Amino acid sequence: MARIKTEKNTSRKDVIVSKAAILFREKGFKAASMRDLAESVGVEAASLYNHIKSKTELLHELCFSVANRFLQKLDEIESEPISAIQKIEKILRFHIVEMVNNYEEVYVSDREWKHLNDPYLSNFQNQRRIYRKRLAAIIETGIKNKEIKAIDAPTAVLILLHAISGIESWHRSKQKITAAALEENMVTILVGGLTI
């Protein structure tokens, strides 16, 4: 009857959530079973329910904690007195760093949100839509100011965001370049591609 081991300032629920992130990333939300999760936590499946309400709750936690981090950072960057292209670069770098350091969570939030249930689902979709619109607005500004090529802003956003999610492949590749080098390469290509 060994308990779930926690480090200080992390609840047992936190442990479960972060093991869930690893598992959901690896197998996908639907394919990952509560029994799998229990095993990776070192406990019986039923015991998980002393700490969480449901499997989907785990997905909520992951999706919204990631979404909130990005929204907060966007607030911050939007209000800085810098050029549009500089904002885009900052956001891009933040995404990359997040994807590198919080791989599992960010990945799961990006790929598995479809399995959320309403009202969380609509909620998440809205946040996502709004986030993208705000990015597009920054790009529009950059275009108006002749910093950025005259392209379709939503398309540019979609390229940026999806390109970032490619870091998944980097994570799993054998011969990785350093995270810093990865970041510079991505910025070179993407910011370079946008700039006039």
Partner DNA sequence: AATTTGCACTAACGTATGTTAGTGGTTTAT
Partner DNA sequence: ATAAACCACTAACATACGTTAGTGCAAATT
Site residues for a copy of itself per CB under 8 A: 27-28, 30-31, 111, 114-115, 149, 151-152, 154-156, 158-159, 161-167, 169-170, 173, 177, 181-182, 185-186, 188-194
CA 18 to chain centre: 14
Decide which of a copy of itself, DNA, none touches 114; Cβ closer than 5 to 8 Å per partner kind. a copy of itself
Alpha helices in the chain (DSSP H): 12-27, 34-41, 55-78, 84-101, 103-111, 120-144, 153-165, 167-172, 179-194
Handedness of CA 72, 73, 76, 78 (dihedral sign): negative
Decide which of DNA, a copy of itself, none touches 159; Cβ closer than 5 to 8 Å per partner kind. a copy of itself
CA pair distance 165, 160, nearest whole angstrom = 9
Per-residue interface string for the shown chain with DNA, residues 61-100, x marking contact by CB under 7 A: ----------------------------------------
With contact defined as beta carbons under 8 Å apart, do 98 and 69 qualify?
yes
Q: Which two tokens stand for residue 113?
A: 């949100």
Show contacts of 175-180: CB within 8 Å, 24+ apart: 179/97, 179/100
Minimum Å gap between C-beta 54 and DNA is 3
Amino acid identity of 190?
Answer: L
Residue 15 or 20 having the CB closest to a copy of itself: 20
Verify binding: residue 45, DNA, rule CB under 7 A.
yes
Per-residue interface string for the shown chain with DNA, residues 7-36, x marking contact by CB under 7 A: -----x-------------------xxxxx
Minimum Å gap between C-beta 175 and a copy of itself is 8
Verify binding: residue 43, DNA, rule CB under 7 A.
yes
Residue 97 or 151 having the CB closest to a copy of itself: 151
Listed ranges 42-50, 68-76, 94-102, 180-188: which one lies at the site for DNA (CB under 7 A): 42-50
Verify binding: residue 49, DNA, rule CB under 7 A.
yes
Residue 29 class from Cβ within 10 Å (0-12 exposed, 13-18 middle, 19+ buried)?
buried
Query: What is the DSSP-derived secondary structure letter of residue 148?
Result: B
Residue 45 or 161 having the CB closest to DNA: 45
Q: Cα dihedral angle (102, 104, 46, 32), rounded to 10 degrees?
A: 170
Note the residues at the interface with DNA (CB under 7 A): 1-4, 12, 32-36, 43-47, 49-51, 53-56
